[in-house]
Amino acid sequence: MSIEVVMPQMGESITEGTVSKWLKQVGERIERDEPLLEISTDKVDAEVPSPGAGILLEIRTQENETVEVGTIVAVIGDETSVSQQSANGGEQTEVKTESEPPAESSAVVAEPLTSESIDEQPKLNSGQSTTKDGPATEVVMPQMGESITEGTVSKWLKALGDTIDKDEPLLEISTDKVDAEVPSPAAGKLLAINVQEGETVEVGSVLALVGTEGSNTVSGEQKAVVSQPVSAQPVTPAPMPEQMPEPVTPPVQAMAATATPGGQNGNATVDDLRKTKSSPLVRNIAKEHGIDITRIPGSGLSGRVTKGDILSFIETGAALRPQDLLVKGAAGIAGPSASKTQTQYAAPQSVATMDDRVEKMSLMRKKIAEHMTFSKQTSAHVTSVYEIDMTNVAKFRTKNQEEFQSLYGTKLTFMPFIFQAVTAAIREHRIVNSQLDGDQIVYKGDINIGMAVALDWGLIVPVIKNAGSLSLSEFAKTANDLADRARTKKLMPDEVQGGTFTITNPGVFGGLFGTPIINQPQVAILCVGTIEKRAKVLTSADGDDYVAIRQMAYFALTYDHRVVDGADAEKFLAYLKGYLESAPFSL
């Protein structure tokens, strides 16, 4: 029997990959999950493990050759296949015996994880184990987005022994993108909880077992599901009379298993992964420039640093900052001795006292910290502030809010007016709706507005998609719906992705204005201050000055000065001011 190795899909937007290096030669033996080749895409560099054990019979894609996702790049077989291939003058023939499984079984192992299978999660995210009283369904950590590799169990909604219906919420999970409830994939009784609250595990890890009434023992063979991303690191269940079978590992998820020898990925830190499992190309670039990879927030699998990550890091000039002199000095490039530099630039250590309360950062808080730090290292932040008269908006809102509530069943706040005004301003000044890709500026065709929502446990930015096609009432309904579902952990992964411009509103808490950090890879973010009555000097039609009470607010635009000039920012804010102060709004 032979097994086909295919180019895996490394994300829903990835359509092709390049073979950067073969780690085995034709005729060499390879074990299941042993690294077989290295591939490179525009998102990530990664090792591809072998989907099965055997002899490397054929290499169909050479190094530096780019092929589409799903293309067969190699064939692996057993000694029988090798003998048969030799007997046929090198032509491969698949030899089957009566003891071999049908061809479909090897296809399950070789088939890559696709975006379609991700979309079905978490409901299809389960396999089955056999218990002494009947089948038990595995509940696994779902993949809540193409870049998500792990999740944290924040709360179990059911206890051991509780009965649960299919699709009834079973637990709450937290990732760096979204908090969400995971429904039960089957009806039955909660037989086992393998991951405790607060624990972080990889996507596909078995979290729990749901089975028939009275089932309490796991045995038998686990069945693989094509759409199931099973974890390369099996989660150790609670002690049971029989040992839970080890999960099958499809190719894409198996990449995380190579993080440490023996597949003990659970013992590897993010820094270990960045150092040891980034591609050879990335490690060579880091060595050449004297960069410590662990300082770079990686966007690859399990936080690994990709080629794009390290090149962006170098372009920002971060590699030349004082804290890097230690590395450069050791490499003979520049700087004082290692020990002296380390002492000079060491961060002060926090000293806890008895009255202090120490609390571990949540996964969301850690990801926010990493993202904010990375953004400050990447973009040249500048902020411009305008004072805008919101009286025009306030009068329209007061006049129409009761009718709006009765028509649409939701409140009419100030934000829909701001969303509409920002969308109009972006149409006229597309530079603030762009992104930087190396030395190219990408002007985004869609206007997708991210709206920062403050939660009790952090901050999340759901995205209003295709804002350019929405009316005032549609802005209001969409924004209120996203905010409500953000606070109740009901958002879907794609609802927090794809933003092109972000608006944050600290004014709701009374803040006058702020200087927010840009939401990468965007180039601008608008901060809305509190809207309040102030005395304002106005000029009559006759040219006379007078003082009036007006509804005023400060609007602060933080922008990436690498892309957006001060004049561009000023023109954008001036357009926004004119629109809000004089536009004839309608429902």
Catalytic residue positions, numbered: 561, 565
Q: Which amino acid, 2?
A: S
Q: What is the C-alpha separation between 356 and 53, in angstroms, rounded? A: 54
- Angle formed at CA 433 by CA 429 and CA 439, multiple of 5 degrees: 105
Query: What is the full DSSP assignment across 283-345?
Result: HHHHHHHT--GGGS---SGGGPPPHHHHHHHHHTTGGGSGGGHHHHHHTTSSSS-HHHHHHHH
DSSP-derived 3-state class of residue 441: strand
Sign, CA torsion 251/256/259/260:
negative
Q: What is the C-alpha separation between 384 and 525, in angstroms, rounded? A: 11
Which residues, other chains included, contact 188 with Cβ-Cβ below 8 Å and sequence gap of 6+? 136, 137, 163, 164, 210, 211, 212, 213, 215
Q: Are residues 312 and 378 in contact, defined by beta-carbon separation less than 8 angstroms?
A: yes
Q: What is the C-alpha separation between 257 and 240, in angstroms, rounded? A: 25
Phi-psi region of 32 (alpha: psi -120 to 50; beta: other; left: phi over 0): beta
Q: Are strands 45-49 and 206-211 parallel, antiparallel or unpaired?
A: unpaired
Count CB-CB contacts under 10 A for residue 321: 12
Tokens of 486: 């953000």
First to last CA, the chain: 66
Query: Across-strand partners of 174?
Result: 152, 179
